[in-house]
Amino acid sequence: MLWSVEHAVWRERNRLVRWHRLWRTRHPVTFTEKVRYKMLRDHRPLLVTFADKVAVRDYVAAAIGPGYLPEVYGVVSDPGQLRSVERPEAYVVKPSHGSGAVIVVSPDAPADAVLPAPAHSWVYRHVRPDSVDEDHLEQIGRHWLTQLYGQGPNREWAYGPVPRRILVEELLIGSDGSIPDDYKLFVFHQQCRYVQVDTGRFGRRTQDFYRPDWSRLDLSGGLPWAASPQPRPERLDEMITLAQQLARGTDFVRVDLYGLPDRIVFGELTSYPAGGNSPFEPERFNTEFGSHWTVPRRYLP
């Protein structure tokens, strides 16, 4: 959820709101309840690093090596500097301090796709290189930098301290030439329990859930299932190992990875999937996911 700076500051002045949230989440059982518990209580600097799309690169390089990172062409704090970033024909532009805002530029985008209006640019958009007007892109960047991500009623606090910058980085291409499948590994206490697979980011999106042995779950997270189960990734064991290494030091984190033809590439670390509002159908999976997670009474620094 996006809030203006003024709105977020006003909302957080009310201490009664925070005490009510703490009281309401004191005995979590389900996965969504435990995410909200973590959002309110786990204020370790590690979570800020996870949320920061720039700083997390150093964390990943130290934990599993720099070879798993996408190439970065530039990081700017002034959107006007985007013009000076040398970019290939295909690339990605996104803010450092949130999730859900990405401009993908490649020749394979629909011919009629255009950049979003700056005021409505916290979206995924795929456009061709000749559709990128530099003034328009700068205006989008300026709008992004005015936004605070995740500052709604449950407050994803970790995004607040992240320095607001803009990244220009490598566009990842799958074996069929399209945006690759997104593997989201749910790691509890350094143990991967589930793998979510998202496909078709800019087309017909699907979402499926598997256990580490690649048995498919009859679970819907809001999007339709793929027409048939996905084949087990050739490098699934390596993905699981990497995810568990990246999850050291925390009780839960979702590790997003991409499986390319020649390598595995890091996506992001997500402490608060769906802001604590992940849908589960049937609901029993909400409890099952939560059963793997023992939240501490207190998060120590």
DSSP string, 106-151: -TTS-TT--PPPGGG-SSEEEE-GGG--HHHHHHHHHHHHTEEET-
Q: 136-146: per-residue pLDDT in tens?
A: 999 999 999 99
Tell me, yes or no, whether 301 lies in a domain.
Answer: no
CATH of the domain at 157: 3.30.470
Among candidates 1, 300, 30, 299, which has minimal Cα distance to 150?
1
Q: Is residue 194 part of a domain?
A: yes
pLDDT of 105 > 90? The answer is yes
Domain for residue 260, yes or no? Answer: yes
Domain of 52, in residue numbers: 2-291
Asked, for residue 300, whether it belongs to a domain, the answer is no
Q: Are 78 and 168 in contact (CB under 8 A)?
A: no
Residue type, 231: P
Give long-range contacts, CB 8 A cutoff, 24+ apart: 218-223.
Answer: 218/282, 219/280, 219/281, 219/282, 219/285, 220/279, 220/280, 220/281, 221/196, 221/278, 221/279, 221/280, 221/281, 222/279, 222/281, 223/198
| 298, part of any domain | no
Selected residue with higher pLDDT from 3 and 56: 56
**Residue 153 scores a pLDDT above 60:** no
Torsion angles phi and psi, residue 208, rounded to 5? -135, 155
pLDDT at 16: 66
Residue 297 is assigned to a structural domain of this protein: no
* Domain-located, residue 296: no
In the block, residue with structure tokens 């993908």: 104
Residue 258 phi/psi, 5-degree rounding, is -120, 135
Full-model pTM? 0.91
Q: What is the mean pLDDT of residues 12-30?
A: 69
Mean per-residue pLDDT of the chain: 91
Give the number of domains in the chain: 1
Q: How many Cβ atoms from other residues are within 10 Å of residue 7's Cβ?
A: 13
> Each residue of 205-255: pLDDT tens digit?
899 999 999 999 999 998 899 999 999 999 999 999 999 999 999 999 999
